[in-house]
Amino acid sequence: MATQALDRELKKGSAELLILSLIERRARHGYEISKLIAARSQGTLTFQVASLYPLLYRLEGRGWILGRWVEKAGERRRRFYRLTPAGRKVLAAQRLGWQKFAEAMRRITGVKYA
Amino acid sequence: MPDWKAIVRQRLASLHLNGAREAEIIEELAQDLEDRYSELRAHGASEAEAQRLAQEVLGQSELLAEELRRRDRPPFEPAGPFSGIRQDLRLAFRNMRSRPMFSFLVIGMLALGIGGNAAIFSIFNGMFLRPLPFRESSRLVDLDETAPKWNLKYVGISNADFYAWRKQNSTFDAMAFFKRHGFDLSGFGATQRVQGALVTRDMLKVLGLQPVLGRNFSLQEDSPHGAKVILLSYGLWERLFQRSRDVLGRVVKLSGESYAVVGVLPREAVFPDQMELWAPLAAGPNDSTGWYLSGVGRLKHGVSIQQAQADLLRVHQVTPLNGNKITSPVVAPLRDRYLGDFRIVSRVLLSAVAIVLLIACVNIAALMMVRASSRVREIAIRTAIGASRGRIIRQLLTEMLTMAALGGAAGVALGYAFLRGLLALMPADEMPQWLSFPMDARFAAFCVLITCGAAILSGLLPALAASRVDTGSCLQETGTRVSLSRGSRRTLSGLVVCEISLALMLLISAALLIQAFHKVLHVDPGFRPENVVTFDIDLPEASYGKPEQKLAFFHSLLEQLRNIPGVQSAGAASAPPLGGHWGNFFQAEGASPLGARDENPVVLQVVTTPGYFDAIGMTFLAGRAFDEHDNALRVGPDGFTAIKGPLVAIVSETFARRYWPVGNAVGKRIRHNADNAPWITVTGVVKDEKHYGLDQETRPAAYFPHGETVFSAMSIVLRGSIDPQMLAAPARDVLRRLDQGIAMYDVHTMTDRLNESMWARRAYSWLLSAFAIVALALAAAGIYGVISYAVSRRTHEIGIRMALGARPDQVLRSILASGMTLVAAGVATGLTATLFAARLLETLLFGVSSRDALIYGGVIVGVSGVCLLANFVPARRAAAVDPMRALRTE
């Protein structure tokens, strides 16, 4: 099942890469992040709340992302996460690592990635 | 719309997150669910469906809980040398809690060992390591003169010598000389005795101190016939004058004379020991008072004791007034002079407690190894999933260190209590006032050091053995069958052998000391101490200046004391047994003359009144005691120079044997060591008294009537038919009726004096015995543990053997044999070690050889017996094995 697979991935760290990438350009709140993952993966990857938020807190604890409550007129306040400079470095490193990994997988399995 | 916050809060309740954090998480999660719900509704889902779908994404609460809990842990750290310490600690505590009995045993044994060490070390520290409480105290030295030819280690310093040394030395910044001198202080309630010192004015300079009030003695005051002035000690200033600053210039009546207070000493002036005031020595260089002074000097920077000694020797040899070449100066570290006797004792005790701790460590190591065998699987699993050998060793050591830290903390507390107990054993007046036994930095360092040492000693071997686990075979075997490797078993046996040999060594040492103590207790003191009370009085020169006044006073005092109901006999002596030494040299008529190289032994000279020998209970071997006729005044106004005969003396058996090896001494004559001295006829010979203590050597002694040498300070000896304590009060009344201005001091029963003289021997003998018994108990527990373990591991094998026909007694014998082999090895090594170690004890022994066969044999039998018993219990358990059951359990 896709969710279980993703939960395993979460533990291995690839989910970190997903989250860091999604907030690279702009700050987003948790629900937005999970919706984006579901939408961009066309439903292949979905996050359980139980996995997403603890992961966000963990990344925040490591100083890679920073959460902040933001209030907008007429709405309830939400917690927005943005990338810290440290997070930016980690993202760059993880991206490079992932590319190498994907390239290696491609060479061995002959599967083409988009 | 559902209350999302309430739903989330309920899910997170079990997490116990902290308040603020919890509120934020709840808010954020509720917000997420609400968004989802709203979107689902917007897409046309029913209310119930939307709620169900939204709630579903919350997932299983356990997962959320676990994820959040993980979030609460500290972020991952890169692997450094200290990474995982927290984990090790956590594991250590968990393991300790899982086996409370085992942990308690280990911590208890460590506490016992460390406590003993802490207490004894703090005594050693206070005596020998802490600097004395004076500025640059390492430069302070004791000064004295020695006279081996007189059979005297220390004779004291003469006036002529101290003047010469002080003037001509080139190695001292300052030197001071002093003697103890008591005073009867009147004018502050009842007349009381105060202990004072006559000192030269350099004393403050030597000690590096300044008066807190007033000034030091002037040069004029410290010269013959100088003004009578005193410096008060801080304590006396407080006691008499409530620290009033008006004390300067006040006149104090001491032994009937007026002294003006010129200053107050600081609290730090604790040398000379236990002095309440100082007066100037005011001695002239030509006063021929013999050797009587103590000395203390401050060395110049960079001068060694040897250099100072050579310097004084050079001065000493050219001193014209130094008539004989028998005495020579001795310079020694100040501490050694006053505590030298305790150095060996404290070393012996320190080694003994160290051995107890060592045995405790060995025991713990054995316990840990046995315990490790039940953890072999745990270790194997951890090795299999990638823990390195170093990591495993570290984990086991951390565990040991944690227990050691707890044991150490408990041990220090125990040690403190133990130290208080020990200090209470020390009679206050036997210990210099400048000693203190605080728990200082050195003490703390020592405790940390032995705790770590104990942890490593008891943890390293088992950890090494355990880390050598063969992962594969361990995981394949079933849990119960896992046992120690052959190497570990051999180590375990080695530890037990070690324990037994150490315990044997301690027990033999303790037995030797106890035997010595027993021998001392049974020494014939030469007098009968029971039912005797003694006290001192000192007649003031001011009102009792003439010899006949003194004689008359003592005569009527003793007469009246004899009338007290319950007093059997009364007498007085210048020095009763254990009451100090006053020595002189004698020639004996008809004795073979001394060769040039013969030593002329110093003779103990005691001045006595009629009735003294009776009161103290000495035995006459020949002749008779002094009567009132002997005690008539025979000297001139100085109290010493004989003017009219006949002079008489009583000598001790050692004296008689020394000078007249054959024949009867009674009727023979002796004289002081000068050719013009008058002859003195010996009227009696008494049995030797142990004047310096039961375990001290006996010197020849001579006793003279008070009328021949008129002392003003005498010890009164009362023998009662009732409890001698009861005699002190009526005696005080008698004295007060005769003269209110005379203090009665140093009141003791003779039994107390004797006991007190042996306090150190008693204390260290019993201490060492206590250590030895603890050691034996620990060693026995060790053997019991190891053999029990072996038996429990061999149950299966024993079952097979019995199934094949072995009888229970054969099993019993075989188990006993394996245990007793270890005991025999332990006894053999212990014996060898003891033969060497006992030499350290030799100076402490008395009347018993350090190789006393009976004691060695007795202890070996005792140790073997205790070990046999410890061995027997598990062996019988083995013999009672039911073969069927043993085989079925496998």
Please report residues of A whose CB lies closer than 8 A to that of B76: 62
pLDDT in tens, B709-736: 899 999 999 999 989 989 999 999 999 9
Q: Kindly state whether A95 is in contact with chain B, defined as any CB-CB distance less than 8 angstroms.
A: no
Nearest-angstrom CA–CA distance, B736 and B729: 11
pLDDT of res. B73: 46
Q: At what angle do helices B376-384 and B389-425 cross, to 10 degrees?
A: 140
Interface subset of B 23-52, CB within 8 angstroms of A: 24-25, 27-29, 31-33, 35-36
Quickly tell me which residue has 């050692």 as its tokens: B654
Interchain CB contacts (distance < 8 Å): A and B = 60
Least confident piece of the model among B120-124, B330-334, B422-426, B477-481? B477-481
Q: Kindly state whether A53 is in contact with chain B, defined as any CB-CB distance less than 8 angstroms.
A: yes
Among B153, B144, B142, CA closest to B602: B153
Q: At what angle do helices B334-374 and B376-384 cross, to 10 degrees?
A: 80
Q: Kindly state whether A36 is in contact with chain B, defined as any CB-CB distance less than 8 angstroms.
A: no
Q: How confident is the model at residue B491 (pLDDT cuts 50, 70, 90)?
A: confident
Q: Which of A48, A51, A61 sits opposite B75 (nearest CB)?
A: A61
Among B535, B538, B536, CA closest to B254: B538
Among B378, B167, B177, CA closest to B294: B177
Decide if pLDDT at B481 tops 50. no
Q: Which of B24, B59, B75 sits opposite A49 (nearest CB)?
A: B59
Chain B residue closest in CA terms to A77: B31
Cβ–Cβ < 8 Å for B299, B171: yes
Please report residues of B whose CB lies closer than 8 A to that of A34: 32
Chain A residue closest in CA terms to B34: A31
* Domain boundaries along the sequence of chain B: 4-72, 156-326, 342-521+761-889, 540-741
**C-beta atoms of A48 and B58 within 8 A:** yes
Determine what percent of chain B is predicted with pLDDT higher than 70.
Answer: 91
pLDDT of res. B477: 52
Select the highest-mean-pLDDT range: A46-50, B51-55, B124-128.
B124-128
Q: Kindly state whether B63 is in contact with chain A, defined as any CB-CB distance less than 8 angstroms.
A: yes
Q: What is the mean pLDDT of residues B674-684?
A: 88
Among B329, B337, B323, B234, CA closest to B277: B234
Q: What's the gap between Cα B762 and its chain centre? A: 12
Q: CA of B68, closest CA in chain A: separation in Å?
A: 5
Among A107, A56, A108, CA closest to A83: A56
Determine what percent of chain B is predicted with pLDDT higher than 90.
Answer: 37
**C-beta atoms of A58 and B58 within 8 A:** no
**C-beta atoms of B71 and A54 within 8 A:** yes
Least confident piece of the model among B65-74, B175-184, B510-519, B533-542? B65-74
Please report residues of A whose CB lies closer than 8 A to that of B31: 29-31, 76, 78-79
What does the angle CA B816 – CA B821 – CA B823 come to, to the nearest 5 degrees? 95
Please report residues of B whose CB lies closer than 8 A to that of A57: 25, 68, 71
Decide if pLDDT at B838 tops 50. yes
Nearest-angstrom CA–CA distance, B791 and B771: 30
Q: How many CB atoms lie within 10 A of CB B85?
A: 12
Q: Indicate the DSSP class of residue B709.
A: S
Q: 3-class SS at B313?
A: helix
**C-beta atoms of A54 and B36 within 8 A:** no
Q: CA of A101, closest CA in chain B: separation in Å?
A: 23
Q: Indicate the DSSP class of residue B127.
A: I
- Whether ipTM > 0.90 holds is no
Residue A112, token pair as written in the block: 């083409």
Which residues have a Cβ under 8 Å from the Cβ of B296 and sit 6 or more positions away? B140, B141, B142, B143, B175, B176, B177, B178, B203, B206, B207, B271, B334
Please report residues of A whose CB lies closer than 8 A to that of B67: 50-51, 53-55
Q: Kindly state whether B60 is in contact with chain A, defined as any CB-CB distance less than 8 angstroms.
A: yes
Q: What is the mean pLDDT of residues B290-314?
A: 92
Q: Kindly state whether A31 is in contact with chain B, defined as any CB-CB distance less than 8 angstroms.
A: yes
pLDDT in tens, B635-659: 878 777 777 778 999 999 999 998 8
Nearest-angstrom CA–CA distance, A26 and B319: 102
Q: CA of B33, closest CA in chain A: separation in Å?
A: 8
Chain A residue closest in CA terms to B25: A53
Q: How confident is the model at residue B132 (pLDDT cuts 50, 70, 90)?
A: confident
Interface subset of B 76-105, CB within 8 angstroms of A: 76
pLDDT in tens, B145-173: 998 877 778 888 988 888 989 999 999 99
pLDDT of res. A2: 44
Cβ–Cβ < 8 Å for B128, B443: no
Chain A residue closest in CA terms to B61: A50
Q: CA of A62, closest CA in chain B: separation in Å?
A: 6
Q: Kindly state whether B68 is in contact with chain A, defined as any CB-CB distance less than 8 angstroms.
A: yes
Helix, strand, coil % over all residues of chain A, rounded to 5: 60, 10, 25
**C-beta atoms of A55 and B67 within 8 A:** yes
* Strand A28-29 versus strand B567-573 pairing type: unpaired
Q: Kindly state whether B199 is in contact with chain A, defined as any CB-CB distance less than 8 angstroms.
A: no
Decide if pLDDT at B794 tops 50. yes
Q: What is the mean pLDDT of residues B660-672?
A: 89
Mutation target to probe the B interface, by most B beta carbons within 10 A, among A53, A62, A66 is: A53
**C-beta atoms of B71 and A58 within 8 A:** yes
pLDDT in tens, A46-93: 777 777 888 888 888 888 898 888 887 777 788 899 999 888 988 888
**C-beta atoms of A49 and B28 within 8 A:** no
pLDDT of res. B889: 61
Q: 3-class SS at B306?
A: helix
pLDDT of res. B482: 47
Q: How many CB atoms lie within 10 A of CB B479?
A: 9
Q: Kindly state whether A78 is in contact with chain B, defined as any CB-CB distance less than 8 angstroms.
A: yes
pLDDT of res. B424: 83
Q: Kindly state whether A64 is in contact with chain B, defined as any CB-CB distance less than 8 angstroms.
A: no
For residue B448, list its beta bridge partners.
none
Nearest-angstrom CA–CA distance, B784 and B791: 10
Which residues have a Cβ under 8 Å from the Cβ of B803 and sit 6 or more positions away? B883, B884, B887
* Domain boundaries along the sequence of chain A: 2-109
Q: Which of B28, B36, B58 sits opposite A50 (nearest CB)?
A: B58
pLDDT of res. B345: 86
Q: What is the mean pLDDT of residues B808-833?
A: 90
Q: How confident is the model at residue B104 (pLDDT cuts 50, 70, 90)?
A: confident
* Maximum CA extent, chain A: 54
Mutation target to probe the B interface, by most B beta carbons within 10 A, among A31, A32, A77 is: A31
Mean per-residue pLDDT of chain B? 85
Decide if pLDDT at B77 tops 50. no
Q: 3-class SS at B882?
A: coil
* Maximum CA extent, chain B: 143
Element (H, E) at A32: helix A30-40
Instruction: Provide CATH code, domain A2-109.
Output: 1.10.10.10
Please report residues of A whose CB lies closer than 8 A to that of B1: none
**C-beta atoms of B70 and A31 within 8 A:** no
Decide if pLDDT at B259 tops 80. yes
Please report residues of B whose CB lies closer than 8 A to that of A78: 28, 31
How far CA B808 is from CA of B533, B710, B799, B878, in Å, comes to 67, 85, 10, 8
Nearest-angstrom CA–CA distance, B668 and B702: 13
Q: CA of A51, closest CA in chain B: separation in Å?
A: 7
Quickly tell me which residue has 């590096």 as its tokens: B208
Among B216, B219, B220, CA closest to B266: B216
Please report residues of B whose CB lies closer than 8 A to that of A49: 29, 32-33, 57-59, 64
Q: Kindly state whether A54 is in contact with chain B, defined as any CB-CB distance less than 8 angstroms.
A: yes
Q: What is the mean pLDDT of residues B452-470?
A: 77
Q: CA of A20, closest CA in chain B: separation in Å?
A: 17
Nearest-angstrom CA–CA distance, B607 and B709: 7
Q: How confident is the model at residue A114 (pLDDT cuts 50, 70, 90)?
A: very low
Omega of the bond leading into B705 within 30 degrees of 0 (cis):
no
